[in-house]
Amino acid sequence: MSSHHKTLLPAAVAAGAQASTLGVMGGGQLGRMFVHAAQRLGYFTAVLDPDVASPAGLVSHVHVQTDYLDEQGLAQMLQRCAAITTEFENVPAGALYTLGAHLPAAPGAEAVAVCQDRAREKRHFEQCGVPCAPHALIETPEQLAGVDAALLPGILKTARLGYDGKGQRRVATRAELALAWDELKRAPCVLERLLPLAFEISVILARNADGELVSLPVQQNLHRDGILAVTQVPAPNVPAGLSAAARDAAGRIAEGLGYVGVLCVEFFVLQDGTLVVNEMAPRPHNSGHYSIDACDVSQFELQVRCMTGLPLVAPRLHSPAVMLNLLGDLWFDADGRERTPDWAAVLALPGAHLHLYGKSSAQRGRKMGHLTLTADTPEAARATALRAAERLGLPAF
Ligand code: ATP
Ligand code: MG
Q: Which atom of ligand 1 is nearest to the CA of 223?
A: 20
For residue 1, what pLDDT is reported?
A: 45
Is 354 near ligand 1, meaning CB less than 6 Å away?
A: no
Q: Is the CB of 134 under 6 A from ligand 1?
A: no
Global confidence as pTM? 0.94
pLDDT value of position 94: 86
Using DSSP, state whether 324 is helix, strand or coil: strand
Write the pLDDT tens digit of every residue in 159-174: 998 776 678 999 999 9
In percent, the amount of the chain with pLDDT more than 90 equals 90
pLDDT digits (tens, 9 = 90+) for 105-150: 999 999 999 999 999 999 999 999 999 999 999 999 999 999 999 9
Going from the Cα of 165 to the center of ligand 2, the distance in angstroms, rounded, reads 7
Mean pLDDT score of the chain: 94
Calculate the CA 11 to chain-centre distance. Answer: 29
Q: Residue 389 C-alpha to ligand 1 middle, in angstroms?
A: 23
Number of H helices, E strands in the chain: 12, 17
Angle in degrees, 0-180, between the axes of helices 71-80 and 93-100, rounded to the nearest 10: 40
- Residue (of 57, 47, 113, 50) closest to 81 by Cα position: 47
Question: Do residues 181 and 173 touch, judged by C-beta distance below 8 A?
Answer: no
Task: Ligand 1 pocket test: pick from 121, 192, 193, 278 the residue with the most ligand atoms within 8 Å of its Cβ.
Answer: 278
Domains located in the chain, CATH noted? 2-105 (3.40.50.20), 134-193 (3.30.1490.20), 197-392 (3.30.470.20)
Mean pLDDT across 317-342? 96
